[in-house]
């Protein structure tokens, strides 16, 4: 019987338990995307707090793109030493860490004078952000793929145990999969085989650069939960293609700011039934593929998490908001206090002074 506290092997790594910190943007890097002491502290608290694996917040891979305010970057070699200090610190606590690499596409604040570009598969206005990207040329598609590969290679040099491609939540790679946003008529649009091409080629470019053994994960939407969104059948198709090519693990999420109300990424949770809102998708996918599946989204209750592990082939559980609230949640559970996470899923953790919880605000 699986337990949250099992030590396991995953893509050559040893994980001290089955709990992941899911990627969480902190808005605490400096203006150029480098580490700050405040950010370092967030990660040290997480590493001390008992979680087995920390996936970083999304990092931008290209100096051409418009980052989120104080987002972390991995777009050139100046980031390597910064991150070496971070990975060394995390490893001291016997915790693994994976860098999430992303291109935001149009899901960012436009800044007309910055000289940066917002790319998209097609020039379709984002329903949530109200931004319209520039349709990518095939040369730009190649450029974006190269920047993912180079970002991953830097992550490897900086001591990360692996990388996670952000293919979820409406960012650039995710938008290629969404018919509403991808109106292309070339080899990157139309059928799911074509819409998946950007993701497959990006994976292959990364794999080529980091070698056959290095862990590459993806976080992908189960569904987009919008009209003309990607379906779960299509999600499974993309996952199966990636598994055949050697992907190491898949984290199942869903939705974006374009989703129908109450069907987005960070849902409110008022009743126990609303917890674990992507677990049925993750369980079904896990039955069909032979790489580990991680489930994120509304996991709050120790007993429910144990139930997921014992009743389904899902191997790992990921949390974001509960660890903003209580970075030492895993230590608490391991220590015998197995009351549910204190997080009330109010979504007030998105905060201008840097991601933080109403119960322990960084800047009031």
- 52 interacts with ligand FMN by CB under 6 A: no
Q: Which stretch binds ligand FMN (CB under 6 A): 161-169, 190-198, 204-212, 229-237?
A: 161-169
Q: How far, CA to CA in Å, does 237 sit from each of 39, 195, 242, 250? A: 37, 11, 9, 13
Q: Give me the least distance between CB of 266 and ligand FMN, in Å please.
A: 4
Q: How far, CA to CA in Å, does 134 sit from each of 118, 119, 141, 218, 327? A: 6, 5, 12, 25, 39
What lies within 8 Å, CB to CB, of 154 at 6+ separation is 74, 76, 77, 79, 80, 83
Q: For ligand FMN, which is the closer residue by CB, 154 or 300?
A: 300
Q: How far, CA to CA in Å, does 7 sit from each of 160, 240, 315, 356? A: 19, 26, 11, 30
Q: Give me the least distance between CB of 29 and ligand FMN, in Å please.
A: 12
- 259 interacts with ligand FMN by CB under 6 A: no
Q: Give me the least distance between CB of 62 and ligand FMN, in Å please.
A: 16
- 24 interacts with ligand FMN by CB under 6 A: yes
Q: Give me the least distance between CB of 193 and ligand FMN, in Å please.
A: 25
- 42 interacts with ligand FMN by CB under 6 A: no
**Within 137-156, which residues bind ligand FMN (CB under 6 A)?**
none
Q: Angle at the Cα of 281 (from 26 to 178), degrees rounded to 5?
A: 70
User: By CB neighbour count within 10 A (0-12 exposed, 13-18 middle, 19+ buried), where does 30 fall?
Assistant: middle
Q: Which stretch binds ligand FMN (CB under 6 A): 85-93, 207-215, 221-229, 293-301?
A: 293-301
What span, in angstroms and rounded, lies between the C-alpha atoms of 49 and 46?
5
Q: For ligand FMN, which is the closer residue by CB, 122 or 174?
A: 174
Q: For ligand FMN, which is the closer residue by CB, 35 or 189?
A: 35
Closest CA relative to residue 320, chosen from 87, 17, 8, 22: 22
- 355 interacts with ligand FMN by CB under 6 A: yes
Q: Which stretch binds ligand FMN (CB under 6 A): 132-140, 142-150, 192-200, 297-305?
A: 297-305
DSSP string over 316-356: EEEESHHHHH-TTHHHHHHTT--PPPS-----TT--TTSS-
Q: Give me the least distance between CB of 59 and ligand FMN, in Å please.
A: 9
Check if the beta carbon of residue 144 is closer than 8 Å to that of residue 151.
Answer: no
- 100 interacts with ligand FMN by CB under 6 A: yes
**Within 164-223, which residues bind ligand FMN (CB under 6 A)?**
166, 168-169, 219
What span, in angstroms and rounded, lies between the C-alpha atoms of 258 and 228?
11
Q: For ligand FMN, which is the closer residue by CB, 100 or 312?
A: 100
Q: Which stretch binds ligand FMN (CB under 6 A): 40-48, 116-124, 191-199, 347-355?
A: 347-355
Q: Of 58, 136, 247, 330, which lies in the binding site for ligand FMN, with binding defined by CB under 6 A?
A: 58
Q: For ligand FMN, which is the closer residue by CB, 189 or 248?
A: 248
Residues in binding contact with ligand FMN, number by CB under 6 A: 25
Radius of gyration of the chain (CA): 19
Site residues, ligand FMN (CB under 6 A): 22-25, 57-58, 100, 166, 168-169, 219, 253, 265-266, 296-299, 319-322, 349-350, 355
């Amino acid at each position: 019987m699986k337990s949250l506290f099992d030590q396991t092997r995953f893509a050559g790594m040893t994980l001290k338990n089955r709990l992941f910190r899911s990627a969480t943007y902190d808005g605490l890097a400096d203006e150029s995307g480098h580490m700050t002491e405040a950010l370092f502290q967030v990660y040290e608290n997480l590493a001390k707090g008992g979680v087995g694996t920390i996936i970083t917040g999304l990092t931008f891979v290209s100096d051409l793109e418009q980052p989120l305010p104080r987002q972390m970057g991995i777009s050139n070699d100046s980031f390597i030493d910064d991150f070496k200090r971070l990975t060394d610190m995390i490893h001291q606590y016997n915790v693994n860490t994976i860098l999430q690499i992303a291109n935001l596409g149009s899901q960012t604040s436009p800044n007309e004078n910055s000289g940066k570009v917002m790319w998209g598969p097609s020039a379709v206005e984002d329903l949530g952000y109200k931004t319209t990207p520039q349709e990518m040329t095939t040369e730009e598609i190649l450029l974006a793929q190269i920047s993912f590969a180079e970002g991953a290679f830097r992550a490897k040099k900086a001591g990360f145990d692996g990388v996670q491609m952000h293919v979820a939540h409406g960012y650039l790679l995710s938008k290629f999969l969404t018919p509403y946003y991808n109106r292309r008529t070339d080899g990157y649009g139309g059928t799911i085989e074509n819409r998946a091409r950007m993701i497959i080629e990006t994976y292959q470019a990364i794999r080529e650069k980091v070698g056959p053994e290095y862990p590459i994960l993806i976080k992908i939407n189960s569904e987009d939960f919008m009209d003309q969104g990607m379906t779960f059948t299509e999600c499974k198709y993309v996952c199966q293609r990636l598994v055949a090519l050697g992907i190491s693990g898949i984290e199942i999420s869903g939705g974006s700011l374009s989703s129908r109300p109450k069907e987005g990424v960070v849902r409110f949770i008022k009743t126990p039934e609303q917890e674990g809102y992507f677990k049925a998708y993750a369980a079904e996918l896990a039955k069909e593929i032979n790489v580990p599946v991680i489930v994120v989204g509304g996991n709050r209750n120790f007993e429910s998490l144990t139930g997921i592990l014992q009743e389904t082939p899902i191997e790992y559980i990921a949390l974001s908001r509960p660890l903003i609230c209580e970075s030492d949640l895993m230590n608490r559970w391991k220590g015998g206090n197995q009351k549910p996470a204190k997080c009330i899923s109010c979504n007030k953790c998105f905060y201008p002074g840097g991601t933080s919880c109403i119960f322990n605000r960084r800047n009031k």
